[in-house]
A and B are shown apart, each in its own frame.
Chain A
């Protein structure tokens, strides 16, 4: 069965610093992987997705993620944090079936 683990329920960075949010997955088949962002009192917005076309995936708002099969990881990064990046971030896995399986989320805090 597929599962997702997000290390760190809270990550705090200074404005302008590197953002690194960790995601490890478990899947018995080649996975489709997603990162979503949730701003307060809103739904989920897709940041990026991995569908096996390329291991380094670029998304919106300057975010990118690298798929590493040997490490079963799909960590999200951004070179320079902005105050507007403060939100909850969810990693999700989906196989060829129908549902998304989400991690428990990481809240990103950006200090001025």
Chain B
């Protein structure tokens, strides 16, 4: 157990809809990163939040957006869902220590877009 929780565990949406995924960080961690893992692939970095500010972004379109709250929990929002958005979405929390910090992953939210 990493202490990182995600909700919901599973979600089914239709193309064009919007979805919000939630992540609760490990206690004391002020950084959260989101990853998309398509079936049979490694996770791909979406973005990272540090103290409520976006701290870096991967190669994902603007319809992927996020928030981090004062208690360091986080949301991933995806607008105008596409079929290719079907994936496992993972969040990871960490405490920055100059790059060598460990990112602790939650169990993920599996999104299916029909």
Interface residues in chain A, defined as those with a beta carbon under 8 Å from any beta carbon in chain B: 32, 34, 36, 41-46, 49, 51, 90, 92, 94-105
B33 near A99: Cβ-Cβ < 8 Å? yes
Q: How many residue pairs between the two chains, A and B, have CB atoms under 8 Å in the bound complex?
A: 62
A43 near B107: Cβ-Cβ < 8 Å? yes
Q: How far is the CB of B76 from chain A (nearest CB, A)?
A: 15
Confirm or deny: B7 has a beta carbon within 8 angstroms of a beta carbon on chain A. Answer: no
A43 near B2: Cβ-Cβ < 8 Å? yes
B55 near A98: Cβ-Cβ < 8 Å? yes
Interface residues in chain B, defined as those with a beta carbon under 8 Å from any beta carbon in chain A: 2, 4, 6, 31, 33, 35, 40-45, 48, 50, 55-56, 58, 90, 92, 98-100, 102-108, 110
A-B contact pairs, 14 of them (CB 8 A): A44-B92, A45-B2, A45-B105, A46-B102, A49-B100, A49-B102, A90-B42, A96-B99, A97-B56, A98-B31, A98-B33, A100-B103, A102-B43, A104-B41
The CA of A65 and the CA of B46, in the complex, are separated in Å by 28
**Which B residues touch A51, using CB under 8 A?**
100
The CA of A49 and the CA of B2, in the complex, are separated in Å by 16
Query: A95: nearest residue on chain B (CB-CB)?
Result: B99
Query: B31: nearest residue on chain A (CB-CB)?
Result: A98
B41 near A105: Cβ-Cβ < 8 Å? yes
Q: How far is the CB of B49 from chain A (nearest CB, A)?
A: 10
**Which B residues touch A49, using CB under 8 A?**
100, 102
Q: How far is the CB of B7 from chain A (nearest CB, A)?
A: 13
Q: How far is the CB of B86 from chain A (nearest CB, A)?
A: 15
Max count, chain B CB within 10 A of own CB: residue among A41, A44, A45, A96: A44
